[in-house]
Amino acid sequence: MFSNKHWGIHPDYHKSVTSGMAIEVPRPPARVIIPVRQHIGAPCDPVVTPGDRVRKGQLIAYSSAPMSSPIHASLSGKVSDVSGKPHPVFGECLSITIENDGWDQWDDNLLEERDWQQMSTEEILGHIKKAGLVGMGGAAFPSHVKLAPPKDKKIDTLIINAAECEPYLTVDHRVMLEWTDRVVTGIHILQKLLNVSQICIGIEDNKMDAVAAMSKAFAGTPVKIVAVPTKYPQGAEKMLIKTLVDREVEPGRLPMDVGVVVQNISTTVAICDAVTHGKPLIERVVTVSGGAIKEPKNLLLRIGTTFADAIALCGGFVGTPEKIIMGGPMMGIAQYTTEVPVIKGTSGILALNKRDVSKGLESGCIRCGRCVQNCPMGLNPSMLSILGEHGFCDEAKEEYHLLDCIECGCCSFNCPAKRNVVHYIKYCKKLCAEKAAAAKKG
């Protein structure tokens, strides 16, 4: 893996549209729709019912499952509904609707200043768990799980992922420039929690102002700031680990197996807020951009804000959008309605016009090998797509390492036959999951 020097691609990045725009803090929306599932793992169960009055930061959904993350109200108001609503990842999900009362009052005992330096590692981890923190780069892995590796896994390196390699997205870029002090505190908290000897911040070299800001902030400390080559998907965990510390995470293994924990930089800021002030994850920065958005912006949005409300804050559409995506254009998820809500893993809302998404008609694979050459995981996406198209999930899994695919989209981007390679691979993974579930039941 990673032996091919040609891995990765260079799409049009479109970052200049919002990279110079400061984070805007709009008024809270009239209502929020908060799904009980916003993370990898078990969904939460509501602990409120219609008619209840809640305050900002109040716990509204919880699960006792180890792999889960609690969910909090993102504004104060009245719970008007608890039912299935559109979800940007799962299609539909049980959700809690809160009508804004206009007071925006915090729940009691939140935002009290705390001295993290006097906390034990158990207390720090407890605050992170209680605040409902998850990976904000898109994966939404519960942070309290990731930051508590098994005792037999010796962690010596913390990597802060600030590469932000997806086109259009400038969330992490602005966070580094505007919330520098919180980045610094978050990293020091992580250093204490993990007791690591090496810390690296990886930033793509198309963000040199952020490199300068981080270099100044960490001057005189052991924290290493690295301007990594701009190449998609440089921000994928395994790619960044290889680039920064020259360690390879073998197929089926995790970063902790090579002594590394990788943390997204926006999540690092949320860790600072949770540990020093008890602030739950109830808002996040979202880049709203694309050719069909009138006024692209970086917005600090409450969790549960609908895409429609977010887009309205940017002046609405220019013409009719061809596609609306949560996340970036390479790995993001296309949406069928703008009534889906912003969730903890929503880094971007893109409204693309026809020119942005025009790809042409799909044809059969011409065996050119471009997808193999550019695959960062060293796979054969061509064969995986063919097997997926015809439903041969066992062969794809056992012979062509289906589950090692990170679904980055390099293969689809470079395919001269215009094949929807990632679509077929995702379909194949779905078949494998259904087959495994059926076998477990039987």
Q: Which tens digit of pLDDT belongs to each residue from 226-251? A: 999 999 999 999 999 999 999 999 88
Q: Which tens digit of pLDDT belongs to each residue from 27-48? A: 999 999 999 999 999 999 999 9
Q: Answer whether residue 270 is part of any domain.
A: yes
Same domain, 41 and 132: no
Same domain, 399 and 291: no
Give the residue-averaged pLDDT of 351-367.
85
Provide the sign of the torsion angle of the four alpha carbons 69, 70, 72, 78, taken in this order.
Answer: positive
Task: Determine which of 47-56, 168-177, 299-308, 418-427 has the lowest per-residue pLDDT on average.
Answer: 418-427
Q: Which tens digit of pLDDT belongs to each residue from 330-347? A: 999 999 999 999 999 999
Same domain, 50 and 93: yes
CATH number at residue 224: 3.40.50.11540
Same domain, 254 and 293: no
Per-residue tokens: 340: 């889906």
**Is residue 66's pLDDT more than 60?**
yes
Q: Answer whether residue 194 is part of any domain.
A: yes
Number of C-beta neighbours around residue 434 at 10 A: 11
**Is residue 358's pLDDT more than 80?**
no
**Is residue 3's pLDDT more than 50?**
no
Domain boundary among 216, 242, 277: 277
- pLDDT at residue 6, as a whole number: 63
Closest CA to 54 of 37, 32, 36, 38: 32
Domain boundary among 277, 301, 321: 277
Same domain, 285 and 298: yes
Say which amino acid occupies 190. Answer: L
Burial class (CB in 10 A: 0-12, 13-18, 19+), 336: exposed
Same domain, 127 and 220: yes
- pLDDT at residue 364, as a whole number: 87
Q: Answer whether residue 1 is part of any domain.
A: no
Residue 162, classed as helix, strand or coil, is coil
- pLDDT at residue 23, as a whole number: 98
**Is residue 419's pLDDT more than 80?**
yes
Most confidently modeled range among 107-111, 209-213, 393-397: 209-213
Q: Which tens digit of pLDDT belongs to each residue from 122-137? A: 999 999 999 999 999 8
pLDDT more than 70, % of the chain: 98
Per-residue tokens: 143: 């942070």
**Is residue 363's pLDDT more than 90?**
no
Same domain, 331 and 264: no
Same domain, 173 and 201: yes
As a whole number, the mean pLDDT across the chain is: 94
Q: What is the CA radius of gyration of the chain?
A: 21
Domain boundary among 300, 322, 354: 354
* Number of structural domains in the chain: 3
Q: Answer whether residue 63 is part of any domain.
A: yes
- pLDDT at residue 8, as a whole number: 87
Same domain, 267 and 340: no
- pLDDT at residue 2, as a whole number: 45
**Is residue 5's pLDDT more than 80?**
no
Confidence of residue 1 (pLDDT cuts 50, 70, 90): very low
Distance CA 325, CA 290 (A): 10
**Is residue 437's pLDDT more than 80?**
yes
Provide the sign of the torsion angle of the four alpha carbons 108, 112, 118, 121, taken in this order.
Answer: positive
Q: Answer whether residue 313 is part of any domain.
A: yes
- CB 80, CB 97: distance < 8 Å: yes
Same domain, 166 and 213: yes
**Is residue 9's pLDDT more than 80?**
yes
Q: Answer whether residue 10 is part of any domain.
A: no
- pLDDT at residue 200, as a whole number: 98
Q: Answer whether residue 359 is part of any domain.
A: no
- pLDDT at residue 4, as a whole number: 46
Range of the domain at 58: 17-110+280-354
| Angle, alpha carbons 375-377-379 (nearest 5°) | 70
Same domain, 104 and 60: yes
Give the residue-averaged pLDDT of 24-29.
98
Q: Answer whether residue 361 is part of any domain.
A: no
Same domain, 173 and 268: yes
Q: Which tens digit of pLDDT belongs to each residue from 248-264? A: 998 889 999 999 999 99
CATH number at residue 99: 3.10.20.600
**For the residues of 187-201, what is the DSSP string, one character each?**
HHHHHHHHT-SEEEE
- CB 317, CB 380: distance < 8 Å: no
- CB 56, CB 282: distance < 8 Å: yes
- CB 159, CB 240: distance < 8 Å: yes
Give the residue-averaged pLDDT of 407-434.
92
**Element (DSSP H or E) covering residue 288:** strand 283-289
